[in-house]
Amino acid sequence: MRRVVITGLGVVTATGCTIADFFAQLLEGRAGTRRIQNLEPALAEQLNCKIAAEVLCFDPSQHFDAKELDQLDRFSQFAVVAAKQALEDAGRGEFSEEEQNRLGVCVGTAYGGIETLDSSYFSLYRKNASRLSPLVLPRLMYNAAACQVSMRFRARGPTLAPSTACSSGAHAIGEAMRFIQHGQADWMLAGGSDAPITYGVIRAWEAMRVLAPENGDAARACRPFSADRRGIVIGEGAAVLLLEEYEVARKRGARIYAELAGYGANSDASHITQPSVEGPARAMQLALDAAGLNPEEVDYINAHGTATRVNDVVETRAIKQVFGARAGKIPVSSTKSMHGHVMGASGAIELVATVEALRRGVLPPTANYSKPDPDCDLDYVPNQAREQKVRAALSNSFAFGGLNAVLVVKQV
Amino acid sequence: MAMQEKIIEAVAKVAKRKTSEVRLDSSFEQLGMDSLDRVCLLFELEQAFNISIPEEAVQDIQTVQDVVSRLGKHMAGQAPAPSGSPS
């Protein structure tokens, strides 16, 4: 089977809109969760939840002209900009016509163009608008971001948009990996994008009763694995990675960040919101098996770590089930404490954090950790970044619906 | 002419041009407008005139002048029929 390596990274997040800014802020343990600024004040006022991880370092007009902006929902804008960064970072330059046929795109999303949908339905239902713009449909469709990336960079290879809630980004990268492994592409722009900070989405999450209620202390609101954790902070953003076939990358003398060595995907097949221990554990084991690694070789796990009561306990148990006695010796951190829960982009953003940890030999902490929970008793890298050599690392994503996706990266 | 000006404004908005760049004999092709821009233009015109434009009223429009004449005809046809006309 052909090997797949990561040669380019791009991010648009609440903790930075370049890879350097993003990872520097994670290492500082500084959260990008803040009071919501971009919602219409009259609507924001009606929300109980006043905080989110909004992307404030992103100015659409710097990247797109007026005509392009008409056609791009915010989630597509994020994806295109992250993909552009990844290509520039990879130093690939122009792809020839023939190469363009071997360049594919896989951008996952949980919400698609929800901002477009939310605002158009608002005008239909609330303001009794008599018609909608023809651009509503091309903006809101779930594959819009993937298509916009494909068009922008003339990627004519396999292009798709997995939507598996909070595992979308991880599934997208795992599926993209397969296209290269099986010889259907030599390069894939793979990742996830979501811009779900809308009135309707936040109301729906409020109803689930899993949002962190600390409106007055936004930066400390998300506290994964800490005994005093109260829930999720919703985020927005995107991450796109350039995946490249190993020999192709080696021949052009590419800087290789890591090998994308394994992917495990499965389903709990049990409950629409309550995760199982067995499903996530089996997904981690599948990913390790695919990578040909044994538990002793794993030096870091970037957790799903949502900071809900249930997830963090279940994930801890699943890690113990897979790694046994070694579980307590593997550092596990949740960067969601800082960039928020970016839904369909989370898996991609967190894989970027994992790759950076591996190549630089320094682990991003779990920010806002304050109190040990007897049910969460692993090493969560509390609050302080830690220098450590990483031979191989896991990135976990577990979605509502019980859909699990685990990615493994290792040193080449 | 109010109607013509409104149409030119709508075309300019969709084509992202200045109104001075849009002439009656400008074709959509010259203005860089594709098939999606064409439906966007019809949406803008429906908004501007608060009317509904059926597809058959605007078949084969290629130029700004085509829009002016077809729309003029369509809107005249939509005017209340004079009393006593055959039903």
Which pLDDT tens digit goes with each residue over A285-332?
A: 999 999 999 999 999 999 999 999 999 999 999 999 999 999 999 999
- φ, ψ at A362 (rounded to 5°): -145, 135
Cβ of A65 and B16 within 8 Å?
yes
Question: Could you report the per-residue pLDDT of B29-41, keeping only the tens digit for each?
Answer: 999 999 999 999 9
A66 in B contact zone (CB under 8 Å) = yes
Q: Report whether A82 contacts A191 (CB < 8 A).
A: yes
| Domain B3-76 sits in CATH 1.10.1200.10 | yes
- pLDDT classification of B77: cutoffs 50, 70, 90: confident
> What's the pLDDT at B1?
62
**What angle do helix axes A144-152 and A74-90 make, rounded to 10 degrees?**
40
Mean pLDDT of chain A: 97
The mean pLDDT of A137-166, rounded to a whole number, is 98
Using the predicted structure, report yes or no on whether residue B82 has a pLDDT greater than 90.
no
Q: Where are the domains of chain B?
A: 3-76
What are the catalytic residues of A? 166, 304, 341
What ipTM was estimated for this complex?
0.80
Interface test with A, best of B40, B42, B45, B55 (most A CBs within 10 A): B40
> What's the pLDDT at A227?
98
The mean pLDDT of A181-197, rounded to a whole number, is 98
Please spell the DSSP secondary structure of A321-374, one letter per residue.
HHHGGGGGGSBEE-THHHH-B-GGGHHHHHHHHHHHHHHHTEEPPBTT--S-BT
Which of A67, A134, A138 comes nearest B16 by C-beta? A67
CA dist A227 and A374 (Å) reads 8
**Using a CB-CB distance cutoff of 8 angstroms, which residues of chain B are in contact with residue A134?**
36, 39-40, 42-43
Q: Report whether A368 contacts A337 (CB < 8 A).
A: yes
Using the predicted structure, report yes or no on whether residue B79 has a pLDDT greater than 90.
no
B48 in A contact zone (CB under 8 Å) = no
Percent of chain A at pLDDT above 90? 99
C-alpha to C-alpha distances, A252 to A154, A188, A255, A256, nearest whole angstrom: 20, 16, 9, 11
CA dist A46 and B65 (Å) reads 49
Q: Report whether A382 contacts A369 (CB < 8 A).
A: yes
CA dist A177 and A394 (Å) reads 15
Using the predicted structure, report yes or no on whether residue A176 has a pLDDT greater than 70.
yes
> What's the pLDDT at B78?
74
